[in-house]
Amino acid sequence: MRYKYQARTKEGELQVGFIESTSKEAAANILTSHNLFVLSIEGEESKHWYNKSGGFFNKVRFTDLVVFTRQFSTLMEAQVPLQDSLRNLHKQTKNKLLKEVIYEISSDIDSGLSLSQALEKQSAVFPEFYISMIKSAEITGRLAESMTFLADYLEKEAMWRSRIRNAMIYPIFVIVIFFVVIIIMTVFVFPQLAPVFKEFNTNLPIVTTIIMSSGTFIIDWWWAIIFIGSIFTIMMTDYFRSNEGQLVYNQVLMKMPVFGDLFRKIYVARFAEITSVLVKGGVPVAQSIEIASHSIGSPIYQEVLYNVSQRVRAGELLSQILNQEEYYFPTLIGQMTAIGESTGQLDELLSRVSKFYTREVNSLLDNLIELIQPALMLVIGIVVAILFSAILLPIFNLAQGF
| CATH number of the domain within which 243 lies | 1.20.81.30
pLDDT at 56 over 70: no
Find residue 4's DSSP bridge partners.
18, 42
pLDDT at 54 over 50: no
pLDDT at 70 over 60: yes
Question: If we measure between CA atoms, which residue out of 364, 347, 212 comes closest to residue 285?
Answer: 347
Does 257 reside within a domain? yes
Element (H, E) at 5: strand 2-8
| Structural domain range at position 25 | 1-46
Judgement on whether residues 154 and 42 belong to the same structural domain of the protein: no
Judgement on whether residues 320 and 206 belong to the same structural domain of the protein: yes
Question: Residue 86's pLDDT is what?
Answer: 87
| 65-74, 143-152, 319-328, 386-395: least confident range | 386-395
| 46-50, 135-139, 225-229: least confident range | 46-50
Question: Residue 398's pLDDT is what?
Answer: 65
pLDDT at 48 over 60: no
* Contact between residue 48 and residue 141 where contact means Cβ atoms under 8 Å apart: no
Judgement on whether residues 37 and 151 belong to the same structural domain of the protein: no
How many independent structural domains does the chain possess? 2
User: What is the number of other CB atoms lying within 10 angstroms of the CB of residue 139?
Assistant: 12
**Which residues, at least 6 apart from 295, have a Cβ–Cβ distance to it below 8 Å?**
127, 128, 129, 130, 270, 274
* Contact between residue 276 and residue 292 where contact means Cβ atoms under 8 Å apart: no
pLDDT at 388 over 80: no
Does 380 reside within a domain? yes
- pLDDT band (50, 70, 90) for residue 227: very high
Strands 37-43 and 14-20: unpaired
- pLDDT band (50, 70, 90) for residue 197: low
Question: If we measure between CA atoms, which residue out of 186, 97, 102 comes closest to residue 387?
Answer: 186
Does 58 reside within a domain? no
Please give the average per-residue pLDDT across 61-81, as a whole number: 88
Please give the average per-residue pLDDT across 222-250, as a whole number: 86
* Contact between residue 275 and residue 289 where contact means Cβ atoms under 8 Å apart: yes
Please give the average per-residue pLDDT across 25-46, as a whole number: 72
**Which residues, at least 6 apart from 166, have a Cβ–Cβ distance to it below 8 Å?**
369
3-state secondary structure of 16: strand
- pLDDT band (50, 70, 90) for residue 231: very high
Question: Residue 52's pLDDT is what?
Answer: 42
Mean pLDDT of the chain: 80
pLDDT digits (tens, 9 = 90+) for 347-362: 888 889 888 988 888 8
Please give the average per-residue pLDDT across 12-26, as a whole number: 70
Does 86 reside within a domain? no
* Contact between residue 154 and residue 69 where contact means Cβ atoms under 8 Å apart: yes
Does 352 reside within a domain? yes
Question: Residue 44's pLDDT is what?
Answer: 59
pLDDT at 35 over 80: no
Judgement on whether residues 38 and 156 belong to the same structural domain of the protein: no
Question: Residue 22's pLDDT is what?
Answer: 66
pLDDT at 346 over 80: yes
Judgement on whether residues 304 and 195 belong to the same structural domain of the protein: yes
Question: Residue 228's pLDDT is what?
Answer: 92
| Amino acid, single-letter form, for residue 115 | L
Question: Residue 202's pLDDT is what?
Answer: 59
Judgement on whether residues 150 and 34 belong to the same structural domain of the protein: no
User: Could you tell me the CATH number of the domain that includes residue 15?
Assistant: 3.10.20
> Where among 46, 63, 83 does a domain terminate?
46
| Amino acid, single-letter form, for residue 181 | V
Please give the average per-residue pLDDT across 271-290, as a whole number: 84
pLDDT digits (tens, 9 = 90+) for 83-118: 888 888 888 888 888 888 888 888 888 877 888 888
Question: Residue 242's pLDDT is what?
Answer: 81
Question: Residue 209's pLDDT is what?
Answer: 78
Does 366 reside within a domain? yes
Q: pTM here?
A: 0.66
pLDDT at 316 over 70: yes
pLDDT digits (tens, 9 = 90+) for 1-10: 667 777 777 7
Does 132 reside within a domain? no
* Contact between residue 390 and residue 182 where contact means Cβ atoms under 8 Å apart: no
Give the Cα separation of 245 and 35 in Å (integer): 39
Does 292 reside within a domain? yes
Judgement on whether residues 38 and 176 belong to the same structural domain of the protein: no
